[in-house]
Amino acid sequence: MTATDFSAILPMILIAAASVAVMLAVAVRRHHAVSAAITLLGLALAFAALWPASAVVPRQVTALLLVDRFALFFTGLVIAGTLAVAVLTWSYLSRRQGDHDEMYILLLVSALGAVVLTSASHFASFFLGLELLSVPLYVMIAYLHARKQSVEAALKYMILAGAASAFLLFGMALVYAEMGTLAFAHIAGRLAGSAQGGSLVLLPALALILVGIGFKLAVVPFHMWTPDVYEGAPAPVTAFIATVSKCAVFALMLRLFEGTGAGELPQVSALFDILAIASMVAGNVLALLQRNVKRLLAYSSIAHLGYILVAFQVGGDFGMNAVAFYFVAYFVTLLGAFGIVGALAGPGRDADQIDDYRGLFWRRPLIAGVFTAMLLSLAGIPLTAGFLAKFYVVAAGASTALWLLILTLVVTSGVGVYYYLRVIVALYATETAAGPMPAVPTGAGVVLGVLTAALLFLGVYPGPLLDVIRATVRF
């Protein structure tokens, strides 16, 4: 390893160092604010380290990590998302009794796993990153262990994640048996070399790997855990699972399937079509039945992953750019939505029933306005980032004439508007919900303000972000 290698992976090093620093600080003296401050500082430095790193890319660091512009874009997104989650966590935990410092260590380790995934170019680093991302999540979900449903959610997630990892490992084993190597680059060479594409061993191997990935992305039919875990986990952790964890795995999937050309095998491509359509349909239809905002957002995020898979199926630069833009919009929107659910949480439970929001506009116009903007963005209404993201996906789909996928997207997102409007109807209802409503903590307020500004800015003037995405998100 040379100094250049180190500057390429500087973001990872800084995040790892921050987690160690929090650990040491806790050993000296527990202090919530200090732990949170170290976490934020570490993440901010890691984000700043993207610039030195971008000076030396693309660079293969050992056989495991390939740091290129693509990796740095998603690393930046993951770090920014984690930063928002960290602030939301601080606001959320400040209101609760108990030891809070471990949460930050877990959050940082999990984020490190996500960053590793964005640069993984080898099955070993893929698995390492995935487990680094997942294992802390088991604890984070059950962090408020006094709540029964949190523990249940954590157990459910752990068992299913274990099963998914088993599928994944079996798939990797088959790949190794077939090719004798675990580097992604060899799959590309192999596929380019063989005339008929995938072999009888490679195709099942890819399918098994897809099961593991599908579980993390929570696409139908691997979505069963999603509503329970989203409901049981503390709101900021839910936000982390919904955004950072999915985005990192998706980045890896792009590299594995798009970068090597494995996604273009007809059988694999058909699988992705099925996943996309099933997610869009099931996610939107099941969301119609929910009375709990967290479960509603869970199904909605399943549907959104379906939309992103449409862009993935387009492939090429256009498709990948659409994926990247959609993820940015998705981050802003979901972090905002879960941020509000967490910010309005009472001491006992999160504000997760639709009825909790009844008439919120007449009591708290500002926070209700922010929530409305987030919901409209999820529904894909103009002036918001979600609109342009959906537009980009439909444009990408139209450019390659994926009419079936586009039609499914249009019809299901029409259905989707209905359940977002149900929440909005509650927000503006003239009769208000009973019970006290806690004030929005300053930290969460700042994050929500920034996210809303980003939402509107991207919805009205997406040019600068598009420039960044076009320059970075390609192989």
Residues contributing to the site for another protein (CB under 8 A): 362, 376, 381-383, 387, 391-392, 394-395, 398-399, 406-407, 410-411, 413-414, 417-418, 421, 425, 428, 430, 461-463, 466-467, 470
Is 51 or 461 the residue whose CB approaches another protein more closely?
461
Q: Taking the complex as a whole, how short is the minimal distance between the CB of residue 291 and another protein, in angstroms?
A: 16
Residues 88, 444 contacting (CB under 8 angstroms): yes
Tokens representing residue 424 in the block: 């909005």
Residue 244 per-residue DSSP state: I
Angle between helix axes 385-399 and 365-379 (nearest 10 degrees) is 0
- The three-state secondary structure class of 405 is helix
Report the residue number, 185 or 468, with the smaller CB distance to another protein. Answer: 468
- If you ran DSSP here, which 8-state letter would residue 432 be given? P
| Least distance CB 403 / another protein (angstroms) | 9
Name the residue among 327, 455, 453, 333 with its Cα closest to residue 392. Answer: 327
The residue among 125 and 321 lying less far from another protein, judged by its C-beta, is 321
Name the residue nearer to another protein (CB basis): 167 or 357: 357
Closest distance of CB 381 from another protein, Å: 6
Kindly state the smallest distance separating residue 437's Cβ from another protein, in Å: 19
Decide whether 248 or 303 has the Cβ nearer to another protein. Answer: 303
CA dist., res. 396 & res. 315, Å (int): 9
Tell me the closest approach of the beta carbon of residue 261 to another protein, in angstroms: 24
How many CB atoms neighbour CB 268 within 10 A? 20
The smaller minimum CB distance to another protein, of residues 305 and 465, is found at: 465
- Minimum Å gap between C-beta 332 and another protein is 18
N residues, the chain: 475
Q: Cα-atom radius of gyration of the chain, to the nearest Å?
A: 21
- Residue 223 or 358: the one with the smaller Cβ distance to another protein is 358
Residues 6+ apart with CB under 8 A from 394: 406, 409, 410
For another protein, which is the closer residue by CB, 97 or 430?
430
Q: Shortest gap between Cβ of 219 and another protein (angstroms)?
A: 22
* DSSP conformation letters of 347-401: SSS-S-BGGGGTTHHHH-HHHHHHHHHHHHHHHT-TTSHHHHHHHHHHHHHHHTT
In the complex, minimum distance from the CB of residue 422 to another protein, in angstroms, rounded to a whole number: 8
Cβ closest to another protein, residue 7 vs residue 413: 413
Distance CA 385, CA 390 (A): 9
Helices 266-287/403-427 angle, 10° precision: 20
299: helix, coil or strand? helix
Q: Choose among 288, 315, 313: nearest CA to 302.
A: 288
CA distance 39 to 328: 22
Question: In the bound complex, what is the minimum distance in angstroms from residue 355's beta carbon to another protein?
Answer: 15
Instruction: Tell me the C-alpha distance between 219 and 302, whole Å.
Output: 6
